[in-house]
Amino acid sequence: MTAPVTGADRDPAQHRPVGTHTPTSGGLAKAALPYVDAAGSEVVQVYVSNSRGWALPPGDPVQDALFREGCAERGVPVFIHASLLVNLGSPTAATVERSAATLAHALRRGTAIGARGVVFHAGSAVDAGHAEAAMRQVREALLPLLDAAGDAGGPMLLVEPSAGGGRSLASRVEQLGPYLDAVDGHPMLGVCFDTCHAWAAGHDLAAEGGMTATLDVLVATVGAERLRLVHANDSKDLCGSTRDRHENIGKGTIGEPAFAELMRHPATAGVPVVVETPTEKHVGHAADVATLKRLRP
């Protein structure tokens, strides 16, 4: 078993905890906590509903409490990834409604398990003619959720720019500007930066200084304090491909030097870093976690 993370030996403001998206089937605490230990995780991300479905399970209070306490004991912050079907920009009204209900559910579950943030994809307008209406939908759906999250003192919502294509509402980091504007810069909306998505959307992270320059643009667009989570994923595809196929850190087209820049950029100081890479059991994840820890200053 991996020793609990104390962070006692480093400046907490600079610490970049590293962890993984973590499976939960069989019980939140029962499945996830051993995985956290085996992977050497210092942060954990979980689904609280089927990633490809709309069902909204209530959760098991016993597992919730054990998980919350287990993560607190280990000093491991918790993040939820909302269902991948969520699209607040959809031209289909039922999808927008289900998306908002899914986010409300994830926020409630986040409060129950002590999560810091709920990640959701920025979404897409799907049809060229729907772009303006899509941003209005984002505003109408998000504002009440963000207000409620603020009142509850619960987790923040974290928007994750997508890999691009399909009339994405935000894939390049500059597009986070209009997205934040759509909710009047609400303080409960943060950003999750996914390296594979940014690469797919055309940010050349593999060029020397490319990761640094992209994070500089993110900071210039929304401010460093908006960045609350990083998804560190290498890619199987080329820059600008709009394809979202993750690869283990240093084994893909982005390459290890870019992740070294990521782990040293001042904008990531104090920001948790989660891998969502391919793995057999925890093995690939443990290797990726170890690599990112090694790349920390």
Residue 149 to residue 143: CA distance in whole angstroms: 10
Least separation in angstroms between CB 221 and Zn ion: 19
| Touching Zn ion, residues 121-180 (CB under 5 A) | none
Q: Which residue is nearest to Zn ion (CB)?
A: 231
C-beta closer to Zn ion: residue 231 or 282? 231
DSSP string, 12-57: TTT---EEEE---TT-HHHHHHHHHHHHT-SSEEE-SS-TT-----
Choose one: 50-58, 206-214, 231-239, 279-287; the region binding Zn ion (CB under 5 A).
231-239
Least separation in angstroms between CB 194 and Zn ion: 4
Count residues near Zn ion (CB under 5 A). Answer: 2
Q: Calculate the alpha carbon distances from 27 to 21, 22, 32, 163 in Å.
A: 15, 12, 8, 31
Structure tokens at 119: 């990640």
C-beta closer to Zn ion: residue 228 or 231? 231
Neighbours of 250 (CB within 10 A): 18
Q: Is 231 in the site for Zn ion (CB under 5 A)?
A: yes
C-beta closer to Zn ion: residue 194 or 247? 194
Q: Is 194 in the site for Zn ion (CB under 5 A)?
A: yes
Q: Residue 91: what residue type?
A: P
C-beta closer to Zn ion: residue 194 or 261? 194
Residues that bind Zn ion (CB under 5 A): 194, 231
